[in-house]
Structure 1
Amino acid sequence: MQLAWWDGKVRILLFDVLFAAAVAGGTLLDITNNGSLRWYGGVFLGVLFAAMVVRRRFPLLFVVLAPVSQVFPSVPVTISAYTMASRKGLHWQTAVAGVVGAIVIVVWPIPGRDHLSWGEQAASVVFFVGGPLLLGLWVYQRRALLAALRDRAEQAERERDLRSERAVTDERRRIAREMHDVVAHRVSAIALQSGALTMTAADEQTERVAEIIRKSSTAALTELREILQVLRDELPGEPGHVAPALGAVPVLVADAVTTGQTVTLELPDPVPEVPPAVGRAAYRVVQEALTNAAKHAPGVQVTVKVVAQGDDLTVEVTNPRGLTPAAVPGSGYGLLGMRERVSLAGGQLETGWVDGVFRVRATFGRVAE
């Protein structure tokens, strides 16, 4: 047997067992009082008890056995009619239960039945059979309606999620198209022009600067291509490209040095093992801080310090004031983006001037794997 036969509820199973015991006990008491208890009577009571316990799963069996369960079968007939209607609905088995119940109520030998009029007998049929049938049909329809409403609500929720996902996907692809058409075109033009300048430079200094610009724009194109692939839900990355991680900070600092920045890096050896989200956030903090230093304080000494102490990781980038800011426009969202990245990785970000030094400090707690 399975608990699902009783709608997955233990209290319904207990009720059916108690009800079956009461009916079988009444039948046993009646047989005992008549002095007609035989061995086959015990077998019949066992079958009757089992049929009543599993009546929700096999209601037709209970309908057949209910009329002979005791001398006054009105209660078993009523329960069998209700059970069949609530389980099967408008079904031929429900009609059989109604007909059997009506016949039992009308023809079963009950003392005093001869004094009942046809109207009283019809009222008995309506009370003991018709009412339970109607109540069972109502319960069946209500259960079906609730199931349909539940399915409709789940389907509406799934459709809403699909529409939301489609809207997000469409917006991401629209952004990818705009970035490809505008930013990628501009950066590609810079790479081509700097490459041409490298070939036609009049002096070594110009050639070196043009080569730096070409490498930086090429790297920017590679990262931009990865961003476009992520926005389009494609596989990101190219073989050999350095992924944003804590271990890639030395490469990031080396690239900044090739562009003319003076950067000092303090990094533990070996590099601490941190979760990927923390590594990406730390990398982006250093990247944005170096970019800001190059724009607002070109030519100054920049210090990048990574400290791992216990389960805590601290990334700090400092630089003094610059004499002449570079004429490079900014988006105004650098610090905001850093703060969001650090927050998503479970850390805290502090920025501001301390004793004439601009400091960016990101602290990540409990990062040990």
Structure 2
Amino acid sequence: MWRKWASIRHRTWFVDAALAAAVIAFTIPTTLIGYSFSLWGGTPGGPEIAIGVITAATMLVRRRTPWPAIVASAACACAAGQVVPMILAVFSMTAEHRVRRWQYVALALTVIYFAVDYVNPHTDHSVYLNIVRALTLIYLPAVVGTWVYAYRRLIRDLRVGVREREEVAASEERRKIAREMHDTVTHAVTTMVLNAGMARDTIEPGEIRDLTAAIEDKGVQALGELRELLTVLRREDGDLAEGSEAIVRLVGEARAGGLQIDLRLDVPPGGLPRQVSHACYRLVQEGLSNVRKHAPDSRVQVTCEVTGDQVAVSVVDTPNPAHAGGRTVRAAPSLGGGYGLAGIRERVCLAQGRFVSGPTPEGGFVLAARLPLRRPDG
């Protein structure tokens, strides 16, 4: 970026230096050979040369402010009869800046050009041709300069807009990766830690083998989901990993971990849009993970069913009176972060759905969403 900026600055400086050299080439030689003139008669050569050099120097600052070039070029035209600097000045006035009431400034320079051109002893004295030349060489460059200024501003705005859209897209992609990584890793690690704790407390070799096998299977499954996630992120047309069909497996794993779950699943196989199906899966996954952490002895109702043109999915836990005397199911450790519910809320919003979470009157907790089967604008 710095090299690009330095290259642009070097190029603009070269252009300004070339314009300054061109102004000197148009003014100094004609003065030295006695070809110059002024509106009020002959002027000494020294002042004409000084005015020409000053006018050339103003070309170097024309991008910062237009007024030195405008004033100096008008003085050069009146004192030496050289109108080329005035053409450059009037174009810079509108192409590099947006001078207020530039039309009046351009009109004043047009009048000066007309006067200089009319009294020039080396050209014709046709008023019509003088007016045409004045308008063509002074006012028209000013108008063209406004178009150039508008075009450059449009390009700058487009570049800024592209950068902003790229930043928004990159931010959304990071959030998507964070959601997927959180839901995949947190669920898997929570299950493995819970099974590891149960294996540590048991003394039955058969049960230990079953728990360690479950830990191994969960680790392999987590690695597979991460691999699928990376594959999706590398492909623009990639598909999301799990859908509502995997809710049965989630419930089975949770039951194996000691949770008491009732499942009501009424979703046609492959009948949900992929984004909606994946959001249902992640909501159930997050709900069961929260139950493991905060209410492992409660009774859980998992629901995922199609009603009309919507799918309703929820995880509701209710305190279980049968375990009032003491906890019988190990609670999974909380890994902190608090990003799970925020991620589910974002998923539901992206699918144009409604999300609800909070405590229930019975003392439990509900995690629910209603997702449309098709977008409202579709």
What TM-score does the superposition give when structure 1 sets the normalisation length? 0.51
Matches of residues 50-69 of structure 1 in structure 2 within 5 Å? none
Specify which of 120, 125, 132 is matched with residue 129 of structure 2: 125
Secondary structure class of the residue paired with 1:154: helix
| Aligned twin of 1:340 | 346
Secondary structure class of the residue paired with 1:314: strand
CA RMSD, Structure 1 to Structure 2 (Å): 4.6
- Radius of gyration: which is bigger? 1
Secondary structure class of the residue paired with 1:260: coil
Matches of residues 159-178 of structure 1 in structure 2 within 5 Å? 164=167
Secondary structure class of the residue paired with 1:340: helix
**How far apart in 1 are the matches of 2:212 and 2:158?**
60
Matches of residues 10-21 of structure 1 in structure 2 within 5 Å? none
**How far apart in 2 are the matches of 1:279 and 1:170?**
20
| Aligned twin of 1:250 | 248
Shift of 1:207: 0.8
Gap change, CA 1:171 and 1:136, over 3 Å in 2: same
**How far apart in 1 are the matches of 2:267 and 2:171?**
42
Query: Deviations along 1:151-188, whole A, 9 cap, x unmatched?
Result: 344345445656x389759979x989x99xxx89x96x
Query: Deviations along 1:211-241, whole A, 9 cap, x unmatched?
Result: 11211222222223444555xx424999xx9
Shift of 1:289: 0.8
Gap change, CA 1:156 and 1:318, over 3 Å in 2: closer
Conservation of the 8 A alpha-carbon contact between 2:225 and 2:241:
no
Specify which of 205, 219, 222 is matched with residue 203 of structure 1: 205
Point out where structure 2 has 5 or more consecutive residues left out of the alignment. 1-90, 92-117
* One-letter amino acid matched to 1:203: P
| Aligned twin of 1:328 | 333
Secondary structure class of the residue paired with 2:266: coil
Conservation of the 8 A alpha-carbon contact between 2:279 and 2:348:
yes
Point out where structure 1 has 5 or more consecutive residues left out of the alignment. 1-85, 87-105, 107-117
Matches of residues 127-166 of structure 1 in structure 2 within 5 Å? 127-158=131-162, 164=167
**How far apart in 1 are the matches of 2:353 and 2:276?**
8
Shift of 1:141: 3.3
Shift of 1:261: 2.8
Larger RCO (CA within 8 A; separation ≥ 6): 2
Specify which of 258, 261, 279 is matched with residue 260 of structure 1: 258
State whether structure 2 residue 304 is matched by structure 1 residue 306.
yes
Specify which of 212, 215, 237 is matched with residue 213 of structure 1: 215
Conservation of the 8 A alpha-carbon contact between 1:263 and 1:304:
yes
**How far apart in 1 are the matches of 2:169 and 2:370?**
36
Specify which of 244, 268, 273 is matched with residue 275 of structure 1: 273
What TM-score does the superposition give when structure 2 sets the normalisation length? 0.50
Shift >6 Å, 4+ stretches: 169-172
| Aligned twin of 1:224 | 226
Shift of 1:308: 1.5
Shift of 1:290: 1.0
**How far apart in 2 are the matches of 1:301 and 1:315?**
17
* One-letter amino acid matched to 2:234: E
Conservation of the 8 A alpha-carbon contact between 1:264 and 1:304:
yes
Matches of residues 41-120 of structure 1 in structure 2 within 5 Å? none
Gap change, CA 1:236 and 1:159, over 3 Å in 2: closer
Secondary structure class of the residue paired with 1:143: helix
Conservation of the 8 A alpha-carbon contact between 1:249 and 1:286:
yes
Shift of 1:132: 4.3
| Aligned twin of 2:38 | none
Conservation of the 8 A alpha-carbon contact between 1:318 and 1:360:
yes
* One-letter amino acid matched to 1:143: W
Shift of 1:362: 1.3
Q: Percent sequence identity over matched residues?
A: 26
